[in-house]
Structures are given as structure tokens and as C-alpha cells.
Amino acid sequence: MRALEISDRDLSKLAIEAAKLAANYWSSLDGRPAYPATSGTQTSRLFDRPWARAGRGPAILDEFAAIAEHVRPCTGRFFGYVAGSGEPVGAIGDLLASVLNQNCTSWRSAPAAATIERVVVGWLAEAVGCAGFAGSLCGGGSTANLMGLAMARESLLPANDDGARPGVVYASEQAHMSIAKAVSLLGLGRNNLRLLPVDEDFRLRTDALRDAIALDRRQGRTPLAIVASVGTVATGAIDPLPHLAEIARAEGIWLHVDGAFGVLAALAAPEKFEGLSLADSISLDAHKWLYQPIDCSCLLHRERTAARKAFSYSGDYVRILNQDPEESFAFFDESIELTRRFRALKLWMSLQYHGRDAFREAITRDLQHAQLLARAVQSHPALELLAPVPLSAVCFRHRARDNEAILRRVIARGRVYLSNATINGRFALRACFVNHRTTREDVDEIIVEVIAAADELNA
């Protein structure tokens, strides 16, 4: 046999064994700790090794158990950050996408895959009330935000030919770090990012925005874009979209929505997202609140021409000779990527396997779990809710103990995992619900674990 070839029989055995490992792993998830008991020394001892000259064959699967033991499992009791749950049908879709190994640069290089991606992007747009928006899938919300702001820059302060000129970007002080990163990468200069004050609900204050734009204009600077956070990473606050859209229109500037965390909740609670369709571009993360395996993000945009203006620059060797609108379509004309995975297959399979109602129900349950926890916090004398809960992030604290120490103990106990946030200068324990596996009992455990950790500190 030639190098790297595997017989049909051996490959089939390997695939069956891998499928068994996957199925056993999924059924073991509930019994796994919320965070692995491991250390850097341990993971290095287990996995840091030279690349051997001789192959190990099917024995490579034997190590899956050890790897699984030292990764963070997607159990229903992991409430940190904005961590999706890796829906298994989507994972099978990812495997099959790798089997097909399509390069979704364009219809020409991946005919069915390119069509499927355009269809699922249309489903996502329609599901969040933005039918007619086009877009593409990408690796993460950070990339989607970068692409949205690149479109803003190229539409209003074209830079692709002569280089970037400063333009001012406005967001709330609660905006995700990927916004500052995008502003710097686009050469706009981080000093041209205005992180503006929020109201008592952590929403961007429109009076502060109007004042900041007016001041910048008076001082000779060029306002470029407003970034609305729809689901801030700390508290899930939703910036006032209709007002921001009105200001963007009046000022002739771009409105980008960072909806990486929150926008997909529009599937279950559309009333919270009024004004979303007025945006010029919207990022959303299917690997967060649509439960898909990482990676699966999406940038939606209203004007395909704006995407082409920002991203189209073809070398002669990829020039498309076909005139048919479907067959001449190229994602590389509308995104920063050239070689692209067939990310759409997992969505195509997972969304159709379960159907739209099931996703709506899972998101509704996440929203209810957040309210359940908020009520439990409010009714516990030792705990204090630190922020409103418009979506599914809950920030709270123990009134009398060191909350940072509580968090460390909660994580060490291993039953639930929480992360942290700073709310009005105070250290907050934070639980976020974007996991279809979470049960009501899992939610109840949060308070039990926090109080137990606080008691241990006292002991």
C-alpha cells in the first residue's frame, strides 16, 4: 500500500470505533464534572511528545478517553462565558463535512456546499427577522464583527486602495473586546473608539451617543459606525436598536449589531429585538445560542454590494468565467476568507433534524432558566442580583463573602462552573444559559453550590 492509504476494511473499523467513542462520550456527559480536574503539568505530561517516525495505527483512538477527561465537557452544568453545547447532529455534520472536504470558496469549487451555505444563511436571517439579508459563515463572532466593521469602513471611508483614515466608532462601555480589536486591525486607531456610558440597564445611552458624535464633528473628526451590542457579554443588555438606527440614519453612518451572544434568541422572543432589521450588518454565533459545534458564526448584511466593495479582490487564477448567477457566486468576493470549511453542513443537518420549533423551545428554556436563577438569587437573603436579566446571563454576588474566593471554590468543587464579570465596579458571579442540556435541577444546583462554597470559606 502507498503511504497514507488505509484499506476499506480498516477505515470502516476505524470509523465505527470513532462513532462508538462519540456516542459513549455524549451519553457520559451528564456524569462528568463541570470542569476537568487537570493542570498544565498534567496535560503536558500526557500529550507533549515528539512526532514519532512510525505510525501507531488504530491505537490512536485509545487516547480519546484521556483527552476527553482533560477537556472542558459541554455538560448542562457549565454556565461560564457564552459556551454553547455542541449539538451532536451538528457534530456528525462536521465529521461529514470533513469527509467531503469541500473548499467553499465559491459555487465552482463546492457546488452543493455553496448553495447549502447560502440557504442556511437565509434561514438564519429569516429566523431573526431579517429576511432578505445575505451573508456568510465564519469562524467566530470576532471575525464577523471585524468583517462588519470592514464593510463600514469601505462604504464610508474607503481604505482598500490608499490606506485607512481615522473614522470614529461608537459603542457602549459594555461592548465586547472584539470591537476594539477590529477597530485597531482596520487601522482606524483605538483612540477613535468611543466606549460610551450606559443606563441603569447597561444599555448604550443615546444622549451620550448624540453628544459624542456632535463633539467629534465639531472637532473635525469623521463618525463612521455605531456598534450596538445585542446581548452584551456581561449582562445580556440589548442596546436600544430603533433609536440607534435612527441616529445612524440621520448621521449617515453605519449600524453594526454585535449579536454574537444574543441575536439568535430572536427565534424565541422576537419582541426583544425590535429594530434589528434596520442594521447594516449583524454578527451572530450559531456556536453559542444555536448550540452548534464550534466553529459556526455568521455575518449578515443588508447590501451585498457593500460586502463586495470591502472584500472583492480576485487574483486572475480564481477568475470566474461563468455568468450564471448561482454558478458564478464566490464567497471570497464577500468575506475575508478564501479557503473555507463546509460549516453549513452541520447547520443544514442539525436544524432540519430537530426542526425550528425544537430550537425555539430550547432557547425559550434557556431564557426561563435565567429567570429562575434570578428569582432564586433575589429570594435568598445572602445573595444579591447585580443586573437585570433581559436574556440569559445572570450576574449576582454573595453579600457577605469574598466573591472571587467563592468562584474559585465553586470551580474546584466541580459540580457547576460559573465565570465572573465586573458590575458597577463589583466582582460578580455570572451564569449564562445557552445549553440545550441544562435542566431545572442543574439551575437549582447553582445556588446550592455557591452557598456551599461560601460556607466552606467560613469554616
Ligand X SMILES: Cc1ncc(COP(=O)(O)O)c(C=O)c1O
User: Which positions touch ligand X (CB under 6 A)?
Assistant: 82, 140-142, 145, 176, 178, 229, 231, 233, 258, 260-261, 285, 297
Residue nearest to ligand X (CB): 141
- Cβ neighbours of 317 (radius 10 Å): 5
Nearer to ligand X, 105 or 392 (CB): 392
Nearer to ligand X, 233 or 310 (CB): 233
- The rounded distance, in Å, linking the Cα atoms of 149 and 174 is 18
The grid coordinates listed for 414 are 466541580
Q: How far is the CB of 275 from ligand X (least distance, A)?
A: 17
- Cβ neighbours of 157 (radius 10 Å): 16
Q: How far is the CB of 142 from ligand X (least distance, A)?
A: 3
- The rounded distance, in Å, linking the Cα atoms of 263 and 267 is 8
Would the CA dihedral through 331, 335, 340, 342 be positive or negative?
negative
**Coil vs helix vs strand at 194:** strand
Q: How far is the CB of 335 from ligand X (least distance, A)?
A: 15
Q: How far is the CB of 16 from ligand X (least distance, A)?
A: 33
- The rounded distance, in Å, linking the Cα atoms of 170 and 224 is 8
Q: How far is the CB of 212 from ligand X (least distance, A)?
A: 21
CB 384 within 8 A of CB 396: yes
Say which residue the cell 427565534 belongs to.
267
Nearer to ligand X, 180 or 269 (CB): 180
State the alpha helices, DSSP H only, in 355-393: 356-378
Nearer to ligand X, 77 or 288 (CB): 288
- Compute CA distances 453 → 77, 256, 392, whole Å: 16, 41, 23
Q: How far is the CB of 228 from ligand X (least distance, A)?
A: 11
Nearer to ligand X, 228 or 374 (CB): 228
Nearer to ligand X, 362 or 391 (CB): 391
- Cβ neighbours of 145 (radius 10 Å): 27
Q: How far is the CB of 203 from ligand X (least distance, A)?
A: 14
Nearer to ligand X, 261 or 342 (CB): 261
